[in-house]
Amino acid sequence: MTRHLLFLTGTRADFGKLEPLAAAARDAGHRVTFFVTGMHMMDRYGLTKLEVQRMPGVRVHEFLNQRPGDGQDIVLAKTVVGFSDYITEHAPDLIVIHGDRIEALAGALVAATNYIPSAHIEGGEVSGTIDEVFRHCNTKLATHHFVSSDAAARRVMTLGEPPETIHVIGSPELDFHAGPSGVSLDEVRARYDIPFADYGIAVFHPVTSEQATMGTQAEAVFGALERSGRNFVVIAPNNDPGSEAIFAVLDGLPKDRFRLIPSMRFAHFSELMKHAACMVGNSSAGVREAPFLGLPSLDIGTRQTNRAMAASVAFAAAGDGAAVAQFLTDCWGNRHAPDTGFGVGHAAERFVQTLASPEFWTQGLQKAFRDQPGG
């Protein structure tokens, strides 16, 4: 039976995780729509709504949910209103949200208060910032849970969710990385004007609870990268509070050794990672995708605290430029065996198999806390 699946995406990162699932659902015969908002709509971050528009066979609705300087509470309120208006008119059968962003929280709230089934992707994970609070809120609001690991499944059950609503599928973005990207490194370098073949990747996002120190943290990180004499492709930070201080540091880096890119197509980013010497920063890509590809990575600060413990991941406190320098000396170009702690690249297949079950669509929407044995 054909269903209408509405995917909510607010960033380039969550679209990279939702796209494989949406494509598989589309190919299985479901009607797929993307509600596009957040960073996707902003020029400074690469106007990545264009990437969603390029996806064939899906509908796209765009909604501007913020102006520069809006606080997260204001963004939440605007997104709730816009998303609620949309679902009232279009009545989806399932709302699909990802992770821990403020847009996902808005989608989960709208789904729950309108008694529409919702699927939360990659719940049950820990990260040590307010993102974790949002993520666990989404778990309690959602009716279905598609998680990346057995550990995440156990945490979702600890939050009182019934085991029959929890499905371990792995991390969807690994579906991309598991196969050929479809582009060559030369094509990636030409498209994004990357002048060097030996490079590391740096992605450093603001931590909302530490926004007052983000400039100091960024100075320590990128100062160490600059002093190393190495070349880096730098992906711009997201638009959370504190990003302006990071941009101020990035703007002062030497252009001949640091190529700053607002955003990249996912296939191109995958190919870039497959040939990089290392990854530095606090993006989830450094603790999930990099280990899957065997790429050595340095996770800095609290943004991904306890998210992953793969052998290829090193850790440094925020502001510890000496640790950054040591990592570059010890780990540059030293590949590791692939880590499969977050799956093996079959998430989309498992997602549509679950949707094909009649029991998935007959589950009741009235939630009740399911105590754990012995609890």
Q: Over the stretch 39-81, which tens digit does the pLDDT of each residue have?
A: 999 998 889 999 999 999 999 999 999 998 899 999 999 999 9
Which segments in the chain show pLDDT lower than 70? Answer: 374-375
For 87-134, how does the pLDDT look when each residue is reduced to its tens digit (9 = 90+)?
A: 999 999 999 999 999 999 999 999 999 999 999 999 999 887 788 899
SS3 category, 146: strand
Measured CA to CA in angstroms, residue 114 lies from 83, 87, 92, 250 at distances of 11, 9, 11, 43
Q: What distance lies between CA 322 and its chain's CA centroid?
A: 28
Domain ranges (residues) in the chain? 4-177+344-362, 185-331
pTM confidence score: 0.89
Q: pLDDT at position 305, please?
A: 83
Tokens of 180: 């050929």
* Contact by Cβ (8 Å): 303, 287: no
- Return the CATH architecture of domain 185-331: 3-Layer(aba) Sandwich (3.40)
Q: 370: which residues sit within 8 A by CB, 6+ positions away? A: 157, 160, 161, 162, 163
> Are the C-beta atoms of 312 and 290 separated by less than 8 Å?
yes
Work out the number of other CB atoms within 10 angstroms of the CB of residue 138.
Answer: 27
Q: Say whether 185-331 and 4-177+344-362 share the same fold.
A: yes
Question: Helix, strand, or coil here: 55?
Answer: coil
CA distance 149 to 151: 5
Supply φ then ψ for residue 204, to 5 degrees: -130, 110
Q: Are 307 and 287 in contact (CB under 8 A)?
A: yes
| pLDDT at site 213 | 94
Tell me if 87 sits within 8 A of 117, measured CB to CB: no
Q: Which fold has domain 4-177+344-362?
A: Rossmann fold (3.40.50)
| H-state helical runs in the chain | 12-27, 49-53, 72-90, 102-113, 130-141, 150-158, 174-177, 185-191, 214-227, 243-250, 266-275, 289-293, 321-331, 347-355, 358-362
